[in-house]
Structure 1
Amino acid sequence: MKLLTRYNRINLLSTIAIFLLSGIAFFFALHLTLLKQMDEDLRIEQREITNYVAIHGKLFTPVEVKDQETIIEKAGKPYEKEKFKTVKASNNENYRQLCFAIQVGDEWYNIKVRKSLEATEHITQTVFTITFCTILLVLLLTVLINSTILKKLWQPFYSSLHLLQRFKVNNGEPLILPSSTIDEFAFMNSILERTTSKAIQDYERLKEFTENASHELQTPLSIIRSKLEMMMQGENLTEYQFDALQSASEALDRLARMNQSLLLLTKIENEQFTYKSIVDLTQIVKQKAAQFNEIWQDKSLNISLDVQPIQLHTNKELIELLLNNLFSNATRHNYENGHIHITLKQHRLCISNTGHPAALNRKHLFQRFYNPSNSSTSNGLGLAVIQQICTASGFNVAYDFEDGLHIFTITFTV
């Protein structure tokens, strides 16, 4: 769905909702105002009757008046209090009626004074019809304006978007966008030109680094892994030799993971994750927890997940990498039947886990190749990657140790 179409739909629906609610409110306000006026007229009739009784000491004989009736009944039981209500008369018309009791001498009379609501209903219907026609006209004009003027206003955006769609970072040609008299589009074009120009430079640097890393590291690693596998399949290996080869294979895997982490750090430092969008952090945390669930079950870890709805304007890929490293760190450095607590609130993500019984060295914690547990499965780059992602995203990462739990807190701006 195009942006203009979505805008038109939202604008049209919101306009209809506003007009509908305001029309209903206006209808009831007008209706209540007219009823109030009608009640005041009935109150005047009541005062006239009361004054007549006070002066003459008797009730007058009701005179038939168009759209008005006065019903006087001798009361066995007088009305306890005055009461306004809407009733339907014998002619099937709606009337507004005031019921009250009055004492004449020693006798009580119940009096009903009613007036027809036909004129009131006619006024209400007329005003409602005029309002409805006005709303319909405004909606038609809104659709017309959105489909013509806004489409013309958005044309520079689509022109820039078309050129951006054809842009390829690997051909080395800079992106040149047409000038625009609209400040927002001109600012967008300047940002796009600077961004694409830097993307070309970063791509060339990354391409060169990747090619060198792939040639210098990946090929030797593959050869070594292949040779080790061949040797481990030998029939005359002693248990000591097999253990030695197994240890070498694990070290090789660790080196491969280290190479991947270094590549990732280089990409982050080269600002290759610059694209930002609205990210549903709550949904991603739940998805990552579901992915790690089997690992946690195998390790018999007790998981506590407490998340609140939150969205961030950031790079989604970096967020996924951040969560993956945080969850991996809390899992790898934990013990069987340990605990992991994951809390997501308004301005922070907190992950705490059991593990090493003492606090980690805060001074060197986020340095590269720092391995506090001296684990052979850790390359010491996980926490460095976490800090680098937070720095690139504008987040703050902090560590604390409390009640036997290692607590990593990510603070961000919503």
Structure 2
Amino acid sequence: MEKMGHDIAIIGAGIIGCACAYRLQQAGFRVVLLDKEAPGQGASFGNAGHIATEQIMPLANPQMLTQIPSMLLDPLGPLRIDWRYFPRLMPWMLKLVANMRAEAQQRSRAGLIQLNQASLAAWKQLLADMEGENLMRHQGSLLVFEQAKTGEALHQFAKTLAANGVAVNPLAKKALHQQVPGLSGGVIGALDFPETSHVVDPHRLVARLMTAAQELGMTYHQQEVTGGFVTDQGVELTTTQGPVRASRVLVAAGAFSQSLVYQLTDVNIPLDTERGYHLMLPKEADRIPVAVSSAERRFIMTPMQGGLRLAGTVEFAGLDRPANMARAHRLADLGDALFEHPLDLAGATPWMGCRPSLPDSLPIIDAVGPDLRVMLALGHHHLGLTQAAITAQLITELARRQTPGLDLSAYRLSRFH
């Protein structure tokens, strides 16, 4: 049998791929990490930085159907479909509609709950292992509202969340304004999620994972993987700089994983992308103490070392269309409305990235094929940062042929056969 130079080749140097690379190298595997971009340059660079353990509801919601006309017509709305992309999106949308059935929604919710409940502890352990505790702040987060009817609905929603294991506390206006001074008087209450956290700099987090993995012996090559196939000895990947051979492969290429998964497994997964935007305000790092989301305006503000990050919106426009940065700049107007004094926009920078989305809102975490040579960690939609550490733990357990610490049946590739 041919001796492989690497035990595991990982495709994708985002937060999922880098977390897996660190854990696998730490477990004693010889890992090579491959990506056409520098580490952390995709969706991992510009995410909201929120460890969103409270977000247990799948995207597939029957109310979404009534919003499709506005999604097609409003280019700056919080949930948008580019009308030119709509025909290509239709097969994915039909699968999304199928996941709106009560049974499917419950299955997705249970899958999200299981991962999210384990996510924060997994992050704390991973950060401790690589001495990166200063990269995350465990101070909770807030979901604020401006209308009494929204508050009533959120208080009912809080009961549902609590029944599903999410720690949540309603905050009255006075308590909220004491916790976050400077909010507009129009902000009248909030839900407080004490068991959530935020990252001080998502790109620094990826960089620290890379450094920690390389210190353990991981190899990184900036080269694009264009294809691959399973051999009798392992896996051979085609790259822009020649073939790479390994005993096993892990596909963690986010929104760009579909073709690779098909080549390696013969399964055509229904993967599309939720394009997300952010606006970074370098002069506003101290505006708020914790991540604050708006129920009505549907965006989030996260305090980071590099400033205040305003993020959110979902846009279905595929991987290739140019970014509509007006959507990013629109976030400034949304943010201004929540404060007594306007935000300082000096030096503001916009960004767009592609989140990998499957129609049931659950990732694929699996090992398949002969001798389980093809491992998969992809499709985490807007919870990639939240679920990265627990995903890395589960992938490492699969690589070591151990029984995973969580039931992986909801995340198997076979659900798309």
User: What is the TM-score with the length of structure 1 in the denominator?
Assistant: 0.19
User: What is the TM-score with the length of structure 2 in the denominator?
Assistant: 0.19
As a proportion of its length, which structure holds more helix? 1
Q: Which has the larger radius of gyration?
A: 1
Where relative contact order (Cα < 8 A, 6+ residues apart) is larger, the structure is 2
As a proportion of its length, which structure holds more strand? 2
